[in-house]
A = this chain, B = another copy of it.
Amino acid sequence: MTIRLTDLGKAVLETEYAVRGPIVARAGELEKHGREIIYCNIGNPQSLGQKALTWNRQILALCEYPALLDLAPGTFPTDVVETAKAILAGTRHGLGAYSESRGVRFIREAVAEFILERDHIGVDPDAIFLTDGASKGVQTILRLLLSGPQDGIMVPIPQYPLYSATITLYEGRMVPYYLDEANGWKLSRPMLEASLAQAKAEGTRVKAICVINPGNPTGAVLDEANIAMVIDFAKAHGLSILADEVYQENIYLPGDEFVSFAKVLHQVEAKEVSLFSFHSCSKGFLGECGVRGGYFEYRHVPEDVAAQILKLQSVSLCANLAGQVATYAMVRPPKPGMPSHARYAAEKGAILETLKQRAILLAEGLNRIEGISCNEIAGAMYAFPSITLPAGRTDFDYAMALLEATGICVVPGSGFGQAEGTAHFRTTILPPTDKIQKVVDALGEFHRNFR
């Protein structure tokens, strides 16, 4: 055949994405043969029974088929009707036309107001791009930053493999910096400096540092001081920052709160540090993964570079309009006093409460198993426990054997990166609460046998 494996490039061949790798493929096969699989490999809440928020879906339905306003009067709350009408007017041509490359301006203005309310700082709607989920935004910015094979991007270890996969695909260098497992997976300045120094010694031109906050897969939540430290580090070394903040609503410990990089950047007045921040409809309490909605916003980016971002985005025309609408619904929830507010608050509260319970249940359960040790799950949707393995066995072996023995599908720690000599796996906290206990019990039994 005219296309052969040997013709493909190194970049393609070396790209890895463990979240949907061979273990997940094997799970699919087992499922085809009638096996019950508990998919803990991917943060896909609605596949495990989480319901979509009514607010989102009512707005989406009306925007898709505005004739419903006349055909089914009284079916939708008045605030949904008004919101859908406003969005449709904002799009000018409905959901069937390409929008501007950046996304519908009316929706970008709503995102700007959301950020203003959250951070008390303004943002130019033209510095916001609506994207098909956060992943596409991250890929655009990495494409922008990587100018040649000597360019490197600092990525936390463990990391979400979108970063390693995209850097490999764009033929840049991943510069790992380690998160401190013994210290709740926090970042430390010495570890950042050590990582950068080593990269420089290897001839890498480091362009940027990625931070995932709350952390995936670690669940760590950064405080203001930690963020200020990263910004100071970036400033000292002339790096740009990619802040992956898609789990900003997923904070579980009392006293913790989400602080955005944008807010701290503003406070410390680091005007020379370029920042790209990412958000998504897929996580938080919405869990609208299938809609592929999200945005990125940037700060301190010169106009000529901004023009290049716009150009890159324009080749892909625009993000899908349903995703843009879902982004609007995310940043503009019903306010107290509006007809949809009570239902929205109840749905949101129930989901977040459930996630919190599961985070506690799972971490406690894992820690009761001898040979498994798990940090508190402070945020996001995952546990990344450390496991002790018999000599000669890898965490890949472990995850595959776990799948075969129990039907539980997790991702080996090697897919995210881990300190030399350690082994982990990542599991989501998403199975229904009654199943979490089952998962923990099955894991415990499996782990004893595997050792």
Stretch at the interface among A40-48, A183-191, A243-251, A396-404: A40-48
Interface string of A140-167 (1 = CB under 8 A from B): 0001111110010000000000100110
Tell me if A3 and B302 are in contact (CB < 8 A).
Answer: yes
Q: Tell which of B57, B94, B301 touches A46, judged by Cβ atoms closer than 8 Å.
A: B94
Known contacts A290-B97, A311-B15: does B9 contact A146 (CB below 8 Å)?
yes
Q: Which of B57, B94, B135 has a CB less than 8 Å from the CB of A52?
A: B94
CB of A380 within 8 Å of the partner chain: no
| Interface residue? A449 (CB, 8 A) | no
Instruction: Check if B96 sits within 8 Å of A7, measured CB to CB.
Output: no
**Cβ A312 vs Cβ B15 within 8 A:** yes
A16 to chain B: which residues have CB within 8 Å?
311
Which B residues are CB-close (under 8 A) to A57?
64-65, 67
Chain B residue contacts of A292, Cβ below 8 A: 132, 317-321
Contact B135 A8 (CB under 8 A): no
Say whether A300 faces chain B, with CB atoms less than 8 Å apart. Answer: yes
Contact with B along A107-137 (1 / 0, CB 8 A): 0000000000000000000000000110110
State which residues 273-332 of A face B: CB under 8 Å: 273-274, 282, 287-292, 300-302, 304-305, 308, 311-312, 314-323
Residues of B within 8 A of A95 (CB): 52, 290-291
A35 in contact (CB, < 8 A): no
* Identical chains in the assembly: 2
Q: Given A2-B238, A301-B3: A132 and B320 within 8 A (CB)?
A: yes
**CB of A72 within 8 Å of the partner chain:** yes
Which of the residues B61, B100, B238 comes within 8 Å of A61, measured between beta carbons?
Answer: B61
Cβ of A98: which chain B residues have Cβ within 8 Å of it? 42, 44, 47, 282, 289-290
Let me know if B97 and A1 touch, CB within 8 A: no
A11 proximity list for chain B (CB < 8 A): 147
A17 CB to nearest chain B CB (Å): 5
Residues on B with beta carbons closer than 8 Å to the beta carbon of A9: 146-148, 151
| B residues near A44, Cβ cutoff 8 Å | 93, 97-98
| Neighbouring B residues of A97 by C-beta, 8 Å | 44-47, 289-290
> Among the interface residues A16, A287, A322, which one has the most CB atoms of the partner chain B within 10 A?
A322
CB A288 to nearest CB in B, in angstroms, measures 5
Contact of A8 among B46, B47, B147 (CB under 8 A): B147
Q: Is A234 an interface residue (CB 8 A)?
A: yes
B308 lies within 8 A of A13 (CB) = yes
Query: Does A267 belong to the interface (CB within 8 Å)?
Result: no
Q: Which one of A54, A72, A162 has the greatest number of beta carbons of chain B within 10 Å?
A: A72
CB distance from A329 to the nearest CB of B (A): 11
With known contacts A12-B147, A96-B46, A320-B322, A17–B314 Cβ distance under 8 A: yes
Distance A334 CA – B377 CA, assembled complex (angstroms): 50
- Closest partner residue, chain B, to A68 (CB atom): B61
Task: Map CB proximity to B onto A346-369 as digits: 1 under 8 Å, 0 otherwise.
Answer: 000000000000000000000000
Q: Is the CB of A4 closer than 8 A to any CB of chain B?
A: yes
Q: Which 8 residue pairs across A and B have the least CB separation, nearest first?
A: A9-B147, A290-B321, A61-B65, A72-B72, A292-B320, A46-B96, A20-B314, A322-B322
- Please name 19 pairs of A and B residues whose Cβ atoms are closer than 8 Å in the assembled complex, sorted by A: A2-B234, A2-B239, A3-B145, A3-B274, A3-B305, A5-B302, A12-B144, A13-B308, A15-B312, A17-B311, A20-B101, A42-B98, A71-B72, A143-B169, A162-B315, A289-B317, A292-B318, A320-B322, A322-B323
- Further pairs besides A320-B323, A322-B322, A322-B323: 18, Cβ < 8 Å: A2-B274, A3-B144, A5-B305, A5-B308, A8-B147, A12-B308, A13-B308, A15-B315, A60-B322, A61-B61, A68-B68, A95-B291, A96-B290, A98-B282, A135-B315, A169-B312, A290-B320, A291-B320
